[in-house]
Amino acid sequence: MSLNKGKIWFDGKLVDWQDAKIHVLSHVVHYGSSIFEGIRCYNTEKGPAIFRLEAHIDRLYDSAKIYRMDIPFTKEEFLNACVEVVKINKFKECYIRPVVFRGYGELGVNPLKNPINCAVAAWEWGAYLGKEALEKGASVHVSSWRRPAPDTFPALAKAGGNYLNSQLIKMEAINSGYDEAIVLDVYGYVSEASGENIFIIKNGVIFTPPTGSSILAGITRHTVFSIARDMDMRIEQHSIPRESLYIADEVFLTGTAAEVTPVSKIDKIIIGTGKCGEVTKKLQTQYFNLIKGKTKDKYNWLTYVK
Ligand code: PPE
Protein backbone atom coordinates (compact mmCIF):
# COMPACT_ATOMS: atom_id res chain seq x y z
CA MET A 1 0.00 0.00 0.00
CA SER A 2 1.28 3.45 -0.77
CA LEU A 3 0.57 6.15 1.77
CA ASN A 4 1.50 9.79 2.11
CA LYS A 5 0.04 11.73 -0.70
CA GLY A 6 -2.75 14.10 -1.57
CA LYS A 7 -5.53 15.45 0.59
CA ILE A 8 -7.45 14.16 3.57
CA TRP A 9 -10.91 15.34 4.60
CA PHE A 10 -10.58 16.34 8.26
CA ASP A 11 -13.53 17.75 10.22
CA GLY A 12 -15.14 19.20 7.16
CA LYS A 13 -12.06 20.57 5.40
CA LEU A 14 -9.65 19.13 2.85
CA VAL A 15 -6.14 19.35 4.28
CA ASP A 16 -2.73 18.22 3.06
CA TRP A 17 -1.82 14.64 3.99
CA GLN A 18 0.93 15.70 6.43
CA ASP A 19 -1.35 18.21 8.19
CA ALA A 20 -4.06 15.72 9.22
CA LYS A 21 -2.69 15.43 12.78
CA ILE A 22 -4.00 14.99 16.32
CA HIS A 23 -2.64 15.58 19.83
CA VAL A 24 -0.95 12.66 21.66
CA LEU A 25 -3.34 13.17 24.56
CA SER A 26 -6.40 12.61 22.39
CA HIS A 27 -8.80 10.16 24.03
CA VAL A 28 -8.57 7.73 21.10
CA VAL A 29 -4.82 7.25 21.53
CA HIS A 30 -5.24 6.03 25.11
CA TYR A 31 -8.55 4.19 25.05
CA GLY A 32 -9.08 3.08 21.44
CA SER A 33 -12.22 5.19 21.17
CA SER A 34 -12.75 5.21 17.43
CA ILE A 35 -15.07 3.72 14.87
CA PHE A 36 -14.24 3.37 11.21
CA GLU A 37 -15.06 1.97 7.80
CA GLY A 38 -13.14 0.51 4.90
CA ILE A 39 -14.59 1.05 1.44
CA ARG A 40 -13.23 0.25 -2.00
CA CYS A 41 -13.44 2.32 -5.15
CA TYR A 42 -12.94 0.50 -8.46
CA ASN A 43 -12.14 1.64 -11.93
CA THR A 44 -15.05 0.90 -14.26
CA GLU A 45 -15.78 1.72 -17.88
CA LYS A 46 -17.73 4.75 -16.66
CA GLY A 47 -14.91 5.96 -14.40
CA PRO A 48 -14.19 5.33 -10.70
CA ALA A 49 -17.10 3.86 -8.73
CA ILE A 50 -17.35 3.45 -4.97
CA PHE A 51 -18.88 0.11 -4.01
CA ARG A 52 -21.75 0.12 -1.50
CA LEU A 53 -20.89 3.52 -0.09
CA GLU A 54 -24.30 4.01 1.49
CA ALA A 55 -24.18 0.68 3.33
CA HIS A 56 -20.76 1.56 4.74
CA ILE A 57 -21.91 5.00 5.90
CA ASP A 58 -25.01 3.43 7.50
CA ARG A 59 -22.78 0.99 9.38
CA LEU A 60 -20.51 3.84 10.49
CA TYR A 61 -23.50 5.62 12.03
CA ASP A 62 -24.65 2.36 13.64
CA SER A 63 -21.21 1.91 15.21
CA ALA A 64 -21.42 5.52 16.45
CA LYS A 65 -24.83 4.88 17.99
CA ILE A 66 -23.58 1.84 19.88
CA TYR A 67 -20.74 3.92 21.34
CA ARG A 68 -22.94 6.99 22.02
CA MET A 69 -20.98 9.17 19.63
CA ASP A 70 -22.82 12.07 18.02
CA ILE A 71 -21.22 12.52 14.62
CA PRO A 72 -21.25 16.26 13.91
CA PHE A 73 -21.98 15.70 10.20
CA THR A 74 -24.99 14.30 8.39
CA LYS A 75 -24.76 10.97 6.57
CA GLU A 76 -24.99 12.90 3.32
CA GLU A 77 -22.04 15.11 4.28
CA PHE A 78 -19.97 12.05 5.17
CA LEU A 79 -20.93 10.34 1.96
CA ASN A 80 -19.95 13.42 -0.04
CA ALA A 81 -16.65 13.60 1.85
CA CYS A 82 -15.79 10.08 0.61
CA VAL A 83 -16.60 11.02 -2.98
CA GLU A 84 -14.64 14.27 -2.63
CA VAL A 85 -11.51 12.49 -1.36
CA VAL A 86 -11.49 10.14 -4.35
CA LYS A 87 -12.12 13.02 -6.73
CA ILE A 88 -9.57 15.52 -5.41
CA ASN A 89 -6.82 12.89 -5.26
CA LYS A 90 -7.68 11.74 -8.79
CA PHE A 91 -7.83 8.09 -7.78
CA LYS A 92 -9.07 5.53 -10.26
CA GLU A 93 -8.99 2.72 -7.69
CA CYS A 94 -8.44 3.13 -3.96
CA TYR A 95 -9.37 2.10 -0.46
CA ILE A 96 -11.31 4.74 1.47
CA ARG A 97 -11.02 4.98 5.25
CA PRO A 98 -13.60 7.10 7.10
CA VAL A 99 -12.81 7.33 10.82
CA VAL A 100 -14.64 8.97 13.74
CA PHE A 101 -12.86 9.32 17.08
CA ARG A 102 -12.91 10.91 20.52
CA GLY A 103 -10.41 13.73 20.36
CA TYR A 104 -8.48 16.06 22.65
CA GLY A 105 -10.13 17.46 25.76
CA GLU A 106 -10.05 15.39 28.90
CA LEU A 107 -8.31 12.12 29.74
CA GLY A 108 -9.85 9.41 31.89
CA VAL A 109 -12.05 6.55 30.81
CA ASN A 110 -15.21 8.68 30.66
CA PRO A 111 -15.22 9.66 26.98
CA LEU A 112 -18.17 12.02 27.02
CA LYS A 113 -16.30 15.29 27.52
CA ASN A 114 -14.15 14.97 24.42
CA PRO A 115 -14.94 16.34 20.98
CA ILE A 116 -15.84 13.96 18.17
CA ASN A 117 -13.42 14.32 15.25
CA CYS A 118 -13.95 12.89 11.78
CA ALA A 119 -11.68 12.15 8.87
CA VAL A 120 -11.71 10.44 5.49
CA ALA A 121 -8.48 9.36 3.82
CA ALA A 122 -7.83 7.18 0.78
CA TRP A 123 -4.89 5.27 -0.63
CA GLU A 124 -4.09 2.58 -3.15
CA TRP A 125 -4.40 -0.91 -1.70
CA GLY A 126 -3.85 -4.16 -3.62
CA ALA A 127 -4.97 -7.72 -2.81
CA TYR A 128 -5.31 -7.91 1.00
CA LEU A 129 -4.04 -11.47 1.43
CA GLY A 130 -1.85 -11.33 -1.68
CA LYS A 131 -2.62 -11.93 -5.34
CA GLU A 132 -1.73 -15.61 -5.07
CA ALA A 133 -4.21 -16.21 -2.24
CA LEU A 134 -6.95 -14.49 -4.24
CA GLU A 135 -6.40 -16.91 -7.12
CA LYS A 136 -5.20 -20.13 -5.51
CA GLY A 137 -6.38 -19.88 -1.93
CA ALA A 138 -5.02 -18.77 1.42
CA SER A 139 -3.35 -20.99 3.98
CA VAL A 140 -4.89 -20.28 7.38
CA HIS A 141 -5.00 -21.77 10.87
CA VAL A 142 -7.50 -21.73 13.71
CA SER A 143 -6.31 -19.07 16.13
CA SER A 144 -5.52 -19.79 19.77
CA TRP A 145 -7.27 -16.46 20.47
CA ARG A 146 -11.07 -16.17 20.65
CA ARG A 147 -13.42 -13.44 19.49
CA PRO A 148 -14.81 -11.36 22.37
CA ALA A 149 -17.89 -12.75 24.12
CA PRO A 150 -21.14 -11.01 23.07
CA ASP A 151 -21.45 -9.10 26.34
CA THR A 152 -17.89 -7.76 26.26
CA PHE A 153 -17.09 -5.94 23.00
CA PRO A 154 -20.00 -5.39 20.61
CA ALA A 155 -18.81 -7.12 17.45
CA LEU A 156 -21.40 -5.39 15.26
CA ALA A 157 -19.65 -2.07 15.89
CA LYS A 158 -16.62 -1.60 13.69
CA ALA A 159 -14.65 -0.02 16.51
CA GLY A 160 -10.92 0.64 16.70
CA GLY A 161 -10.61 -1.15 20.05
CA ASN A 162 -11.93 -4.41 18.55
CA TYR A 163 -8.88 -4.52 16.36
CA LEU A 164 -6.55 -5.17 19.29
CA ASN A 165 -8.12 -8.63 19.30
CA SER A 166 -7.66 -8.80 15.50
CA GLN A 167 -4.01 -7.76 15.85
CA LEU A 168 -3.26 -10.60 18.28
CA ILE A 169 -4.90 -13.00 15.85
CA LYS A 170 -3.07 -11.63 12.82
CA MET A 171 0.37 -11.51 14.50
CA GLU A 172 0.05 -15.11 15.68
CA ALA A 173 -0.99 -16.23 12.18
CA ILE A 174 1.85 -14.40 10.43
CA ASN A 175 4.45 -15.52 12.97
CA SER A 176 3.28 -19.11 12.53
CA GLY A 177 3.64 -18.90 8.74
CA TYR A 178 -0.06 -18.57 7.79
CA ASP A 179 -1.75 -15.90 5.68
CA GLU A 180 -4.63 -15.40 8.09
CA ALA A 181 -6.50 -17.06 10.96
CA ILE A 182 -10.03 -18.25 11.59
CA VAL A 183 -11.24 -17.45 15.07
CA LEU A 184 -13.76 -19.24 17.27
CA ASP A 185 -16.33 -17.42 19.39
CA VAL A 186 -16.55 -17.79 23.16
CA TYR A 187 -18.72 -20.91 22.77
CA GLY A 188 -16.20 -22.59 20.48
CA TYR A 189 -18.11 -22.04 17.24
CA VAL A 190 -16.54 -20.55 14.14
CA SER A 191 -16.79 -16.76 14.17
CA GLU A 192 -14.75 -15.00 11.49
CA ALA A 193 -11.16 -14.11 10.54
CA SER A 194 -9.12 -11.15 11.82
CA GLY A 195 -10.56 -8.90 9.11
CA GLU A 196 -12.90 -11.08 7.06
CA ASN A 197 -16.12 -13.07 7.34
CA ILE A 198 -16.07 -16.78 6.57
CA PHE A 199 -18.22 -19.07 4.44
CA ILE A 200 -18.07 -22.84 4.04
CA ILE A 201 -19.67 -24.99 1.35
CA LYS A 202 -20.77 -28.57 1.94
CA ASN A 203 -22.77 -30.67 -0.52
CA GLY A 204 -23.77 -27.61 -2.51
CA VAL A 205 -25.08 -25.60 0.44
CA ILE A 206 -23.33 -22.41 1.57
CA PHE A 207 -23.06 -21.82 5.32
CA THR A 208 -21.89 -18.81 7.31
CA PRO A 209 -21.99 -18.01 11.04
CA PRO A 210 -24.92 -15.83 12.23
CA THR A 211 -24.46 -12.33 13.70
CA GLY A 212 -24.71 -13.91 17.17
CA SER A 213 -21.32 -15.59 16.65
CA SER A 214 -19.37 -12.37 17.45
CA ILE A 215 -18.94 -11.34 13.83
CA LEU A 216 -18.92 -8.01 12.07
CA ALA A 217 -21.98 -7.93 9.82
CA GLY A 218 -19.83 -7.63 6.71
CA ILE A 219 -21.09 -5.74 3.72
CA THR A 220 -19.26 -8.16 1.41
CA ARG A 221 -20.99 -10.97 3.34
CA HIS A 222 -24.32 -9.32 2.54
CA THR A 223 -23.28 -8.88 -1.11
CA VAL A 224 -22.48 -12.62 -1.29
CA PHE A 225 -25.98 -13.38 0.08
CA SER A 226 -27.49 -11.37 -2.78
CA ILE A 227 -25.23 -12.89 -5.44
CA ALA A 228 -25.95 -16.42 -4.18
CA ARG A 229 -29.69 -15.75 -4.10
CA ASP A 230 -29.58 -14.38 -7.64
CA MET A 231 -27.77 -17.55 -8.77
CA ASP A 232 -30.32 -19.79 -6.99
CA MET A 233 -27.75 -21.10 -4.53
CA ARG A 234 -28.83 -22.16 -1.07
CA ILE A 235 -27.28 -20.14 1.75
CA GLU A 236 -27.79 -20.67 5.48
CA GLN A 237 -26.67 -18.88 8.62
CA HIS A 238 -26.02 -21.11 11.58
CA SER A 239 -23.44 -22.03 14.20
CA ILE A 240 -20.49 -23.85 12.67
CA PRO A 241 -18.39 -26.27 14.73
CA ARG A 242 -14.63 -26.14 14.13
CA GLU A 243 -14.37 -29.56 12.51
CA SER A 244 -16.82 -28.55 9.76
CA LEU A 245 -13.99 -26.42 8.43
CA TYR A 246 -11.75 -29.41 7.75
CA ILE A 247 -14.41 -31.50 6.00
CA ALA A 248 -15.91 -28.65 3.97
CA ASP A 249 -15.82 -28.92 0.16
CA GLU A 250 -14.85 -25.26 -0.07
CA VAL A 251 -14.08 -22.40 2.31
CA PHE A 252 -13.73 -18.73 1.45
CA LEU A 253 -13.28 -15.41 3.21
CA THR A 254 -15.02 -12.12 2.40
CA GLY A 255 -14.24 -8.50 3.16
CA THR A 256 -13.94 -5.15 1.45
CA ALA A 257 -10.17 -5.50 1.55
CA ALA A 258 -10.00 -9.30 0.98
CA GLU A 259 -12.93 -9.33 -1.52
CA VAL A 260 -13.74 -13.04 -2.07
CA THR A 261 -10.62 -15.04 -1.19
CA PRO A 262 -10.62 -18.86 -1.31
CA VAL A 263 -9.04 -20.86 1.51
CA SER A 264 -6.95 -23.83 0.40
CA LYS A 265 -5.58 -25.10 3.73
CA ILE A 266 -6.68 -24.91 7.34
CA ASP A 267 -4.22 -26.08 10.02
CA LYS A 268 -2.32 -27.62 7.08
CA ILE A 269 -5.31 -29.80 6.18
CA ILE A 270 -6.18 -29.48 2.48
CA ILE A 271 -9.71 -28.19 1.91
CA GLY A 272 -11.58 -29.89 -0.93
CA THR A 273 -9.34 -30.02 -4.00
CA GLY A 274 -6.87 -27.58 -2.43
CA LYS A 275 -7.66 -25.06 -5.17
CA CYS A 276 -10.27 -22.35 -5.54
CA GLY A 277 -13.52 -24.38 -5.50
CA GLU A 278 -16.20 -24.24 -8.18
CA VAL A 279 -18.84 -22.42 -6.14
CA THR A 280 -16.28 -19.99 -4.71
CA LYS A 281 -15.06 -19.26 -8.24
CA LYS A 282 -18.60 -18.51 -9.43
CA LEU A 283 -19.27 -16.17 -6.52
CA GLN A 284 -15.88 -14.50 -6.86
CA THR A 285 -16.35 -13.94 -10.60
CA GLN A 286 -19.79 -12.46 -10.07
CA TYR A 287 -18.43 -10.26 -7.25
CA PHE A 288 -15.69 -8.90 -9.53
CA ASN A 289 -18.19 -8.31 -12.32
CA LEU A 290 -20.39 -6.33 -9.94
CA ILE A 291 -17.70 -4.12 -8.45
CA LYS A 292 -16.22 -3.42 -11.87
CA GLY A 293 -19.62 -2.46 -13.25
CA LYS A 294 -19.55 -5.33 -15.75
CA THR A 295 -22.98 -6.65 -14.82
CA LYS A 296 -26.15 -4.65 -14.37
CA ASP A 297 -26.05 -2.72 -11.11
CA LYS A 298 -29.59 -3.71 -10.19
CA TYR A 299 -29.22 -2.84 -6.51
CA ASN A 300 -27.66 0.59 -7.17
CA TRP A 301 -24.49 -0.34 -5.34
CA LEU A 302 -22.11 1.78 -7.39
CA THR A 303 -21.56 5.48 -6.70
CA TYR A 304 -19.79 6.94 -9.72
CA VAL A 305 -17.23 9.63 -9.04
CA LYS A 306 -17.71 12.20 -11.75
N1 PPE B 1 -14.87 -8.97 9.98
C2 PPE B 1 -13.93 -8.11 10.41
C3 PPE B 1 -13.38 -8.28 11.77
C4 PPE B 1 -13.49 -7.09 9.57
O5 PPE B 1 -12.56 -6.24 9.99
C6 PPE B 1 -14.04 -6.98 8.28
C7 PPE B 1 -13.57 -5.90 7.35
C8 PPE B 1 -15.03 -7.89 7.88
C9 PPE B 1 -15.43 -8.87 8.76
C10 PPE B 1 -15.72 -7.79 6.54
O11 PPE B 1 -16.52 -6.65 6.48
P12 PPE B 1 -16.86 -5.92 5.11
O13 PPE B 1 -15.63 -5.20 4.70
O14 PPE B 1 -17.97 -5.01 5.45
O15 PPE B 1 -17.25 -6.96 4.14
N16 PPE B 1 -12.21 -5.60 7.43
C17 PPE B 1 -11.74 -4.35 6.87
C18 PPE B 1 -10.44 -3.97 7.47
C19 PPE B 1 -9.15 -4.43 6.89
C20 PPE B 1 -7.98 -3.77 7.60
O21 PPE B 1 -6.92 -4.41 7.67
O22 PPE B 1 -8.11 -2.62 8.04
C23 PPE B 1 -11.85 -4.35 5.36
O24 PPE B 1 -11.98 -5.40 4.73
O25 PPE B 1 -11.85 -3.26 4.80
From the CA of 106, how far away is ligand 1's center (Å)? Answer: 30
pLDDT at 303: 98
Which residue's alpha carbon is nearest to atom 20 within ligand 1? 195
pLDDT digits 0-9 by tens, 89-143: 999 999 999 999 999 999 999 999 999 999 999 999 989 999 999 999 999 999 9
- In percent, how much of the chain has pLDDT > 90? 98
pLDDT digits 0-9 by tens, 227-261: 999 999 999 999 999 999 999 999 999 999 999 99
Q: Is residue 275 part of a domain?
A: yes
Show which of 80, 98, 123 is a domain's final residue. Answer: 123
pLDDT at 3: 67
Indicate whether 160 and 277 sit together in one domain.
yes
Sequence-distant (6+) residues with CB within 8 A of 285 are none
Rounded to whole angstroms, the Cα distance separating 11 from 88 reads 16
Is 9 a residue whose pLDDT tops 80?
A: yes
Indicate whether 233 and 95 sit together in one domain.
no
pLDDT at 2: 61
From the CA of 194, how far away is ligand 1's center (Å)? Answer: 8
Indicate whether 287 and 141 sit together in one domain.
yes
Is 5 within 8 Å of 17 (Cβ atoms)? yes
Q: Is residue 153 part of a domain?
A: yes
Q: Would the CB of 221 count as within 6 Å of ligand 1?
A: yes
Average pLDDT rounded to a whole number, residues 281-299:
96
CB atoms within 10 A of CB 12: 10
Q: Is residue 301 part of a domain?
A: no
CB atoms within 10 A of CB 254: 25
Indicate whether 26 and 90 sit together in one domain.
yes
pLDDT digits 0-9 by tens, 162-212: 999 999 999 999 999 999 999 999 999 999 999 999 999 999 999 999 999
Range of the domain at 221: 131-291
Q: Would the CB of 38 count as within 6 Å of ligand 1?
A: yes
pLDDT at 1: 59
Q: Is residue 304 part of a domain?
A: no
Indicate whether 109 and 136 sit together in one domain.
no
pLDDT at 189: 98
| CATH number reported for the structural domain that contains residue 163 in this entry | 3.20.10.10
Q: Is residue 276 part of a domain?
A: yes
Looking at the CA of residue 162, tell me the nearest atom of ligand 1. Answer: 3
Q: Is residue 75 part of a domain?
A: yes
| CATH number reported for the structural domain that contains residue 14 in this entry | 3.30.470.10
Show which of 77, 106, 123 is a domain's final residue. Answer: 123
pLDDT at 27: 98
Q: Would the CB of 197 count as within 6 Å of ligand 1?
A: yes
Show which of 100, 123, 146 is a domain's final residue. Answer: 123
Confidence of residue 5 (pLDDT cuts 50, 70, 90): confident
Indicate whether 285 and 145 sit together in one domain.
yes
Rounded to whole angstroms, the Cα distance separating 78 from 12 reads 9
Is 183 within 8 Å of 143 (Cβ atoms)? yes
Indicate whether 52 and 114 sit together in one domain.
yes
Looking at the CA of residue 222, tell me the nearest atom of ligand 1. Answer: 15
Q: Is residue 306 part of a domain?
A: no
Indicate whether 117 and 139 sit together in one domain.
no
Averaged pLDDT score across all residues of the chain? 97
User: What's the per-residue H, E or C state across the chain?
Assistant: CECCCCEEEECCEEEEHHHCCCCCCCHHHHHCCEEECCEEEEEECCEEEEECHHHHHHHHHHHHHHCCCCCCCCHHHHHHHHHHHHHHCCCCCEEEEEEEEECCCCCCCCCCCCCEEEEEEEEECCCCCCHHHHHHCEEEEEEEEECCCCCCCCCCCCECCHHHHHHHHHHHHHHCCCCEEEEECCCCEEEEECCCEEEEEECCEEEECCHHHCCCCCHHHHHHHHHHHHCCCEEEECCCEHHHHHCCCEEEEEECCCEEEEEEEECCEECCCCCCCHHHHHHHHHHHHHHCCCCCCCCCCEEECC
Indicate whether 156 and 202 sit together in one domain.
yes
Positions annotated as catalytic residues are: 158
Best mutation site among 40, 56, 197, 213 for ligand 1 pocket (most ligand atoms within 8 Å of CB): 197
Confidence of residue 274 (pLDDT cuts 50, 70, 90): very high
Indicate whether 180 and 50 sit together in one domain.
no
Indicate whether 142 and 235 sit together in one domain.
yes
Q: Is residue 164 part of a domain?
A: yes
- In the chain, the number of structural domains is 2
Indicate whether 272 and 143 sit together in one domain.
yes
- In percent, how much of the chain has pLDDT > 70? 99
Is 41 within 8 Å of 50 (Cβ atoms)? yes
Q: Would the CB of 261 count as within 6 Å of ligand 1?
A: no
